């Protein structure tokens, strides 16, 4: 009888009935949110420990970002890049400064940023490095996740992402993640770039071996190959630094950014690089109708300004240590491995105990939302506005789920 009064079951049924099944969401229907908390259509509150795969680094409805969006909505939302609008230069200049790069190329989604990076690297290879026409190749890592376009899934090693979407785009060589010798051996005279996630998020927050990223930087420099860092999930404060590469003092030739750049309000992505790389593009060779639109720039500029203060990087680093300590305390009590960098954790549950999906369902019942991946692994990535008490609450709910 009580179930008949709830809105969630019918909303879940309608979603199943009228949408393609390209996702397998938890049976929760969110209607509002603020900060680190979500409320469903039946009034139940949940602690958000996914943060839109890092798109919500600053929490839901951050007042500074919402205010910027409201003000811009009343003025101008779209012109296309056929014209220049008054928000464009500020965004590009301030993001370039945050990245320590000369130029920025704005796009919309993370996958578009990756595609842009691939195109720029190939063009750089032909025009600057003078590789054999039509033979440019890019080194990537197994276990990667860079998006779901046909080109990107062509070099995925995940069957769910790749199978039955061929024919596949050539020009990519896959090497084991973390294996510097294999990466160096794969480079040939036509290699134009190495494309890596500094931390592999979809794979389960897999951290690189110590010294790996500096080694990649050295090899790329020595062999005249671009180092492209996909910081779409790992960047913009998530790991306790502005970029995950910062943990080892590494500066790539090109940053691929997205997710958090839009403040959880609009899709914004960007490629940042110096003029000798991004400068190979000429008018008409690449673009996007909505890329760098006024609304996106207004919000993203405020995101960059929030990051420029260092506050969110500090919060992520400090609270990440609290999260690490709490999760490490559960090793041997249902957890078999924990990987944490800032407010980003990959948690491996004993597969004899439950799957990752089962763990997320049980966490949902206890008012915490997280995401499973690859069997018995769950990812925790709360908004950077989460408090220490809320971190302790999340860890306590994980402990309760493991205890049964």
H helices of 149-238, where? 150-153, 159-162, 180-186, 212-222
Measured between alpha carbons, how far is 226 from 254 in angstroms, rounded to an integer? 8
Both tokens of residue 393?
């609450």
Name the catalytic one among 101, 123, 259, 371.
259
What are residue 257's DSSP bridge partners? Answer: 270
225 near 192, Cβ under 8 Å?
A: yes
What are residue 255's DSSP bridge partners? Answer: 229, 272
* 101 annotated active-site: no
Cα dist from 303 to 55, 239, 268, 342, whole Å: 11, 16, 11, 19
Rg of the chain over Cα atoms, rounded to whole angstroms, equals 21
Pick from 101, 5, 11, 110: nearest CA to 55? 110
Task: Look at residue 191 and give its three-state secondary structure.
Answer: strand
* 230 annotated active-site: yes
Name the catalytic one among 40, 48, 230, 348.
230
* 86 annotated active-site: no
Name the catalytic one among 88, 91, 145, 290.
145
Q: Residue written as tokens 């010798």?
A: 181
Cα dist from 93 to 19, 75, 103, 151, 276, whole Å: 40, 21, 8, 30, 17
Catalytic residue numbers, as ranges: 145, 230, 259
């Amino acid at each position: 009888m009580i179930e008949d009064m709830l809105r969630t079951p019918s909303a879940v049924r309608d979603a199943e009935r009228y949408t393609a099944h390209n996702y397998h969401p938890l049976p929760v229907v969110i209607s509002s949110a603020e900060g680190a908390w979500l409320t469903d259509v039946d009034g139940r509150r949940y602690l958000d420990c996914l943060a839109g795969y890092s798109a919500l680094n600053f929490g839901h409805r951050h007042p500074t970002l919402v205010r910027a969006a409201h003000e811009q909505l009343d003025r101008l939302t779209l012109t296309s890049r056929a014209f220049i609008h008054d928000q464009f230069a500020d965004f590009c200049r301030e993001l370039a400064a945050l990245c320590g790069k000369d130029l920025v190329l704005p796009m919309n989604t993370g996958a578009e940023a990756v595609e842009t990076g691939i195109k720029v690297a190939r063009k750089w290879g032909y025009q600057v490095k003078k590789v054999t026409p039509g033979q440019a190749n890019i080194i990537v890592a197994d276990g990667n996740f860079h998006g779901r376009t046909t080109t990107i899934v062509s070099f995925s090693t995940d069957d769910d992402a790749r199978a039955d979407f061929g024919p596949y785009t050539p020009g990519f060589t896959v090497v084991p993640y973390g294996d510097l010798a294999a990466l160096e051996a794969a480079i040939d005279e036509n290699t134009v770039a190495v494309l890596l996630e500094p931390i592999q998020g979809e794979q389960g927050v897999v951290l690189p071996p110590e010294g790996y990223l500096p080694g990649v930087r050295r090899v790329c420099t020595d062999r005249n190959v671009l180092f492209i860092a996909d910081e779409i999930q790992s960047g913009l404060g998530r790991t306790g630094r502005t970029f995950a590469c910062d943990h080892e003092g590494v500066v790539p030739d090109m940053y691929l950014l997205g997710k958090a750049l839009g403040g959880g309000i609009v899709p914004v992505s960007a490629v940042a690089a110096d003029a000798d790389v991004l400068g190979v593009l000429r008018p008409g060779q690449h673009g996007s109708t909505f890329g760098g639109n006024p609304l996106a720039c207004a919000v993203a500029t405020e995101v960059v300004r929030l990051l420029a203060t260092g506050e969110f990087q500090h919060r992520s680093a400090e609270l990440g240590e609290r999260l690490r300590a709490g999760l490490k305390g559960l090793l041997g009590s249902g957890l078999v491995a924990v990987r944490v960098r800032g407010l980003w954790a990959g948690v491996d549950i004993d597969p004899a105990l439950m799957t990752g999906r089962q763990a997320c369902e049980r966490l949902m019942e206890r008012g915490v939302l997280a995401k499973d991946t690859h069997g018995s692994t769950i990812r925790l990535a709360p908004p950077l506005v989460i408090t220490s008490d809320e971190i302790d609450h999340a860890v306590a709910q994980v402990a309760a789920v493991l205890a049964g």
